[in-house]
A = this chain, B = another copy of it.
Amino acid sequence: MTRPATSFEGPAPRAPFADAFVAALRAALPGVAGPVGLHDPHFSGNEWAYVKDCLDTGWVSYNGSYVSRFESMLVDLTGAGSCAAVSSGTVAIEMALRVIGVAAGDEVLSPSLTFVATNNAIAHLGAMPHFIDSESKSLGVDVAKLAGYLDDIAEMTDAGARNRLTGRRLAALLPMHCFGHPVDMDPLLELADRWKIPVVEDAAEAIGSTYKGRPCGSLAPIACLSFNGNKIITTGGGGAILTRDPELGKRLRHLTSTAKTPHAFEFIHDEIGWNYRLPNINAALGCAMLEQLPARLAAKRALQLRYEAAFAGMNHVSILREPSYAKSNYWLAAAILEDGDVAERDALLKAVQEAGFMCRAAWRLNHTLPMYQDCPRMPLETAEAIQPRLVNLPSAPQLLRTEPA
């Protein structure tokens, strides 16, 4: 199979490499008819029954029983003490940072290699990201490098850790489990404890992943999940804040509502509420999907193994594997190109998309985006080295089904 080089803009693709890449995708996904999306939603359980129940009973809004059921299921899954289901992963992180006291003028240590929502949530509070580097095994925070960096730039004050160069408080550390691969949390938590920097776990991509046997979403005192359309579990749009502290969980449910105090017929609100609760109809979808989480995780792991096998014999590319200390949910499978530049990656992505496979580039490093380019950052060599060479592969669990849909 050859493609005419004239069908592409930019530099000519390395056609043999792209062809081999497409052949490996085809080998990993036998019998899958294209076009193949990156991670399309797919509903095959009780979704319609539960959603229909909401419509039939009229319980579509914030106070329905699926909301508390969804929260309970997430507590059971993660071992967290309490949960508040909200309207997006972004507002989950925003509220988690808010309740631990992050405020305007603070800095939050956060990866540059992440979906932009991580850093937007910081900016929503008037705080700013302080970008930190990733390491190449998990693609998450490079803890050893961060430790050295903090020794260089931070100082302890009565109000906590401070950036000596900017004078701003280092108000939180926000590790993100990239593509579902857990950050090496034990040394990270130890480092954060040494500097008295609160940790918020961005587990938006990591539902079902475990770190040394402990579920992501319970590794820090407060953690966040996302249920956006391309996630393993979706509620259309949605997120959740998990916390070990049941009192804090109650407070989060209060703050993410309109902060109304209970009364039979009066409207009394005792503080500023945010109106971020997840509607019942979305929670119903989430409940039905969570019931299928074990099967979905198993399918994704099997798909990962197929990619590993299919790409095993190919030069210049490797499939990213979970770190040795963790089990990943393999949210998005990732191929790392061993050499080449952005132009060659782009040519590959065009060729692969033309062949019917939705592969995509890693997110632009957030410190290069216009709104964040003046934010403080450590040297980001690893993120800068990996980002141009990383390609995500189609990863939806239903791709593994061989029976008719």
Contact = CB atoms under 8 A, between A and B. Distances in A.
B120 A273 contact: yes
Given A47-B55, A115-B267, A359-B265, A61 B41 contact: yes
Nearest to A369: B269
A88 B274 CA distance: 10
B272 A120 contact: yes
Interface in A234-268: 234-238, 258-259, 264-268
A80 interface: no
Contact of A229 (B61, B87, B104, B275): B61
B237 A277 contact: yes
B265 A361 contact: yes
Contacts of A88: 87, 275-276
Nearest to A236: B279
Interface in A47-66: 47-48, 51-52, 54-55, 58-63
A370 interface: yes
Nearest to A268: B364
B275 A120 contact: yes
Contact of A364 (B90, B238, B267, B273): B267
A380 to B, nearest CB: 17
Nearest to A62: B237
A282 interface: yes
Per assembly, the copies of the chain total 2
A134 interface: no
Contact of A270 (B52, B268, B269, B369): B369
Contacts of A353: 264-265
Interface string A373-388: 0000000000000000
A91 interface: yes
Interface in A101-152: 104, 115-117, 120, 123-124, 126
Dominant secondary structure of chain A at its interface with chain B: loop
A263 B273 CA distance: 36
A371 interface: yes
Contact of A273 (B116, B229, B230, B266): B116
Given A274-B124, A369-B270, A58 B87 contact: no
Interface string A358-370: 1111111000011
Given A265-B360, A275-B88, A270 B370 contact: yes
B61 A236 contact: yes
A270 to B, nearest CB: 6
A280 B236 CA distance: 7
A281 interface: yes
A285 B236 CA distance: 13
A40 interface: yes
A276 B258 CA distance: 17
B120 A258 contact: yes
Interface of A: 40-43, 47-48, 51-52, 54-55, 58-63, 87-91, 104, 115-117, 120, 123-124, 126, 228-230, 234-238, 258-259, 264-282, 285, 346, 349-350, 353, 358-364, 369-371
